[in-house]
Structure 1
């Protein structure tokens, strides 16, 4: 479990292809000395398990499901990623409850100035993500806990402070870039209970996310 408060930005140094999955080698500087095999770490919002850590990097396994559902499926060496270690009992919950179970991906539309120093982030998102989103509700974008301030039929917007931009990968996003999205887990349970009582129905045409095109899948020949 995580909070969506990014600890630091790391860099993918190497991607090692396996059969239908990959092993990521991620450079994290001094953080590597704090990591232990078996612990969870959110990489751009996707919960991965540290396999080993030495020097200034750690290794983590990314399954076929992770590659298909997240932007890690299109990752390449040199890409920066947001990192957060798992929440410990007694820690402050500064963001919101984040599982690291990515629901799908959205598209970065833009980052616009708002007020004297703030920004408005706009993300185009799939319908199933938007259906689980509400204004003033929480959403995780590339592992970052954000609050939705506007919701349309095709996108949502979130207000950002300068810190959120300067200390995360948001600083380097370009229009059209894909980002991992996770909706509020509490809303998912409410929706499931309503469906069980026949008060909420699945929309026709909904489908599971398909594999992302990109370098990792090309590497595996998938």
Structure 2
């Protein structure tokens, strides 16, 4: 589990490809102090497992599933990567609950400035998942926890302060850039639970709220 607060901007050092499988060698420094083989690290918002550790970086495997559902397939040596170690149970929760499972990618449509903020409009590649992206809700873009400033049915907009822009790889985005998007996990669970039908008893009578049920329990 992550929080969407990027700890360090790493550099992609090398890529080994075999079809839709990849091995990434990533240079890093700040996060290297306590990571071990087997640790989870969010790379551009995608949860990956450290398979080798060196003094100046680490290696991760990318499976075909991740390759097909994230922007990692587009990476080239020298690219900047947002890195975050898994959160500690006793740590401060500064962002929001982030799993590191990209729901989809999106395309940056437009980048504009509004005083000290940078506004980025992003079009999700799976419009049906936009139900989870609501104004003032949380969304993760390339591993960065952001607040949705607005939506228009086709794109959603995030407003980014200078600190976040300068301390993450979002500063390198431009129109046409492909980003990883993870929707708010709480919204996904609520939507899934509300969409399920109530269980039916053996006598085929649905278990739901009715005047008889309210009266029987002292509410009417």
Using structure 1 for the length normalisation, give the TM-score. 0.85
RMSD between superposed Cα atoms in Å: 1.4
CA distance in structure 1 between the partners assigned to 2:13 and 2:139 by the alignment: 28
Cα offset, 1:148, TM superposition: 0.5
Unmatched 5+ residue regions in structure 2?
199-220
Question: In 1, are the aligned partners of 2:7 and 2:31 still within 8 Å (CA)?
Answer: no
Q: Which has the higher contact order (CA 8 A, sep 6+)?
A: 1
- The question of 1:37 aligning with 2:37 is answered yes
Distance 1:52 1:156, change over 3 A: same
- What is aligned with 1:120? 119
CA distance in structure 2 between the partners assigned to 1:141 and 1:19 by the alignment: 26
CA deviation vs aligned residue, 1:164-186 (integer Å, no higher than 9, x gap): 11111111112101000000001
Question: In 2, are the aligned partners of 1:33 and 1:53 still within 8 Å (CA)?
Answer: no
CA distance in structure 1 between the partners assigned to 2:190 and 2:102 by the alignment: 18
**Rg larger in 1 or in 2?**
2
Cα offset, 1:30, TM superposition: 4.4
CA deviation vs aligned residue, 1:92-115 (integer Å, no higher than 9, x gap): 110100000100000112332113
SS of the equivalent of 1:191 reads helix
Unmatched 5+ residue regions in structure 1?
199-222
CA deviation vs aligned residue, 1:13-65 (integer Å, no higher than 9, x gap): 11112464111100113433432101100000000001111121100011000
CA distance in structure 2 between the partners assigned to 1:166 and 1:156 by the alignment: 22
SS of the equivalent of 2:73 reads helix
